[in-house]
């Protein structure tokens, strides 16, 4: 099943399930009281939003050997995690705003895990029970600020620096090696497989849930393959995860007073 969150002309903001005829709107959410309605809207009647609004986004750094190497970083012995604020989340077609504090903003295509129920001190063998599904993510990064700061919060945490979407797929298995790609203005920049992750989804859930309780709707970004690089104002960035779809976001300028 593919789950989307939409602003429809029929029922404001709601969740829905993708069907051949369009999107079947649901009452409640996939996390609680999930119930289909009789209403199916067409794609031109709905605007796709970020498929989830997490209380926190936990991201994993250097989870692909080739990506660690391209930035001259060692491969971590345990997951290197950091947080992106919920305010960084945007959905498909929403603009990534390029901050004036940076002159070197990068794309990072990633598989995102959407947590389905409260997870605390989860064992690796039980991890799949806590996953609602998977979506695509772009861990947008101000690389110059990341390098200059002691920690990564500023470089990773600007508003709009965490596009998610277009849908949550509940049937995928990352162990099968899902293709992860990024294109900028149609040019292929990144191409990798989730089968190359150093730490798999189950390992990450076990590790993170020992540190913090994961709540329904929280998101774990699983790291990016090699090929990260700069994006500029006017670019169109597409992140595609095999089986999920394409997450596209334009890049616009942002000043201290807002979007230019």
Same domain, 66 and 165: yes
**Where a domain ends, among 10, 29, 48?**
48
Same domain, 238 and 113: yes
pLDDT at 76: 87
Same domain, 7 and 127: no
Same domain, 86 and 31: no
Same domain, 41 and 112: no
pLDDT band at 12 (very low <50, low <70, confident <90, very high): confident
pLDDT band at 4 (very low <50, low <70, confident <90, very high): very high
pLDDT band at 256 (very low <50, low <70, confident <90, very high): low
Same domain, 137 and 232: yes
Same domain, 223 and 170: yes
Same domain, 135 and 205: yes
Same domain, 61 and 118: yes
pLDDT tens by residue, 80-91: 999 999 999 999
pLDDT band at 70 (very low <50, low <70, confident <90, very high): confident
Same domain, 117 and 68: yes
pLDDT tens by residue, 117-176: 999 999 999 999 999 999 999 999 999 999 999 899 999 999 999 999 999 999 999 988
pLDDT band at 257 (very low <50, low <70, confident <90, very high): low
Range of the domain at 230: 57-259
Mean pLDDT confidence for 14-23: 97
Which residues fall within 8 angstroms of residue 92, CB to CB, at 6 or more apart?
Answer: 48, 49, 163, 165, 166, 247, 248, 249
**In the predicted model, what is the mean pLDDT of the chain?**
95
The CATH number for 43's domain is 2.30.30
Same domain, 125 and 173: yes
pLDDT at 258: 57
Q: How many domains does the chain have?
A: 2
């Amino acid at each position: 099943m593919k789950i989307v969150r939409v602003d429809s002309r029929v029922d404001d903001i709601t969740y829905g399930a993708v069907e051949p005829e369009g999107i079947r709107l649901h009452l409640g959410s996939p996390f609680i009281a999930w119930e289909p309605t009789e209403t199916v809207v067409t794609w031109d009647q709905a605007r796709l939003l970020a498929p989830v609004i997490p209380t926190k986004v936990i991201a994993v750094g250097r989870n692909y050997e080739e990506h660690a190497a391209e930035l001259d970083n060692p491969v971590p012995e345990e997951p290197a995690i950091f947080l992106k604020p919920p305010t960084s989340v945007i959905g498909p077609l929403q603009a990534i705003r390029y901050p004036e504090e940076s002159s070197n903003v990068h794309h990072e295509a990633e598989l995102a895990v959407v947590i389905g129920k409260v997870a605390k001190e989860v064992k690796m063998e039980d991890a799949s029970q806590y996953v609602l599904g998977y979506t695509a993510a772009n861990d947008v990064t101000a690389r110059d600020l990341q390098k200059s700061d002691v920690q990564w919060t500023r470089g990773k945490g600007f508003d709009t620096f965490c596009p998610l979407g277009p849908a949550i797929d509940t049937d995928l298995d990352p162990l099968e090696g899902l293709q992860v790609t990024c294109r900028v203005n149609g040019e292929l920049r990144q191409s990798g497989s989730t089968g190359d992750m150093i730490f798999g989804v189950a390992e990450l859930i076990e590790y993170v849930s020992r540190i913090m309780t994961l709540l329904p709707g929280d998101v774990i970004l699983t790291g990016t393959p090699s090929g990260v690089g700069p994006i500029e104002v006017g670019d169109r960035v597409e992140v595609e995860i095999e089986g999920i779809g394409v997450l596209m976001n334009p890049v616009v300028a942002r000043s201290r007073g807002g979007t230019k």
